[in-house]
Amino acid sequence: MHLSDLWFIAIAVLWAGYFVLEGFDFGVGILLPVLGGGDTGRRIMINAIGPVWDGNEVWLLTAGGATFAAFPFWYASMFSAFYLPLLIVLVALIIRGVAFEFRGKRDSARWRGGWDTALFAGSLVPAILWGVAFANVVRGIPLNAAHNYTGNFFTLLNPYALLGGLATLSLFTLHGAVFLALKTTGGLRQRAAAAAQAAGGVAVLAGGGFLAWTEASYRAPGHAGGTGAASVALAGLAAVALIAGVAAIRAGREGYAFAGTAVAILAATGALFTALYPRVLPSSTSAAWDLTTGNAASTAKTLAVMTVVAAIFLPLVLAYQGWTYWVFRNRIGAAPQPPPQDPQAEQPTAAGR
């Protein structure tokens, strides 16, 4: 295996980790106006992801940085082609981050409501556009011989990509609902479980249809053997895990349900990257102009240095994030209210004090 292949796998792992961890963050934000009820319920939902959401976004930064360093030509062509969608995603993520920080700065229902709307929009937009973007990466975009994008924004809004956006939206919404059912107590837990059951059917249909379309149409030509079989196997695993997760939430087993949706997202991401390999960005204009792990990679020395640095620091980062999840592992809910006092209760007299 060449180092370029190793880093292609590493980038796939980073994106899979991002979608699993940030996926339930997006889902919670999308469900905020649906499940929150009053301000207390929305506060609990935000607190459920409050300690971890910013750490989850580190996976995105690392994936982007690794792509830039390991495959600069892939990075240049992809970010140029997806400039407007990625700018929209960036603005949405900024608004979302600001909403987390500013929501509690004023004791005003109108103020909190405005930031709740921003949090919802900042979660909904990336949940859709990440699916649209990755579907276009797998499908291929119009590139010329110089690997410059020759399409426009509306070229990216093809039926396959739109189905990809629906698939990620439904999967992340389901994942977030299951996370809330696992993380909260009381009425919010029950509402989250009901929302997960409702979202499960849509996620199975959209996600299953998207993966089936991928395997039928967009696997790398000439790789119907090992990588083709692996992609089909991962797609099948994603479907089984997703169905098992939906069944588990119906049975009230939130832990198994969360494991099922997490495995489904991991396997689906793996199926897409395996279907893509050895290409990193296909050209829909001509297969001769595809970007691959060979012609898009940095020099061998650069990849070797990156590998050493990753081997040293990656375990530390994973250990720290795992410790964070362990510290904040308990369920959360509304604080118990003291029983109301009886206004008719006998008051002590002066002589009895």
Asked whether the beta carbons of 182 and 258 are under 8 A apart, the reply is: yes
Domains and CATH numbers, the chain: 22-327 (1.20.1630)
Burial profile 243-278: b = 16 or more Cβ within 10 angstroms, e = fewer: bbbbebbeeebbebbbbbbbbbbbbbbbbbbbbbbb
- Which pLDDT tens digit goes with each residue over 93-144? 999 999 999 998 888 889 999 999 999 999 999 999 999 999 999 999 999 9
Prediction pTM value: 0.90
What mean pLDDT, rounded, does the chain reach? 90
Examine the pLDDT at 343 and tell me if it is beyond 60: no
What are the start-end ranges of the H helices in the chain? Answer: 3-35, 39-49, 53-56, 58-70, 72-81, 83-102, 109-139, 159-183, 186-217, 226-250, 254-276, 300-327
Q: For residue 342, what are its two tokens? A: 């009886």
pLDDT band of residue 219 (cuts 50, 70, 90) is confident
Q: What is the DSSP letter of 38?
A: S
Mean pLDDT to the nearest integer, 36-50:
90
Predicted confidence at residue 39, as pLDDT, reads 87
Q: For residue 25, what are its two tokens? A: 């963050």
Examine the pLDDT at 12 and tell me if it is beyond 80: yes
- Which pLDDT tens digit goes with each residue over 227-276? 678 899 999 999 999 999 999 999 999 999 999 999 999 999 999 999 99
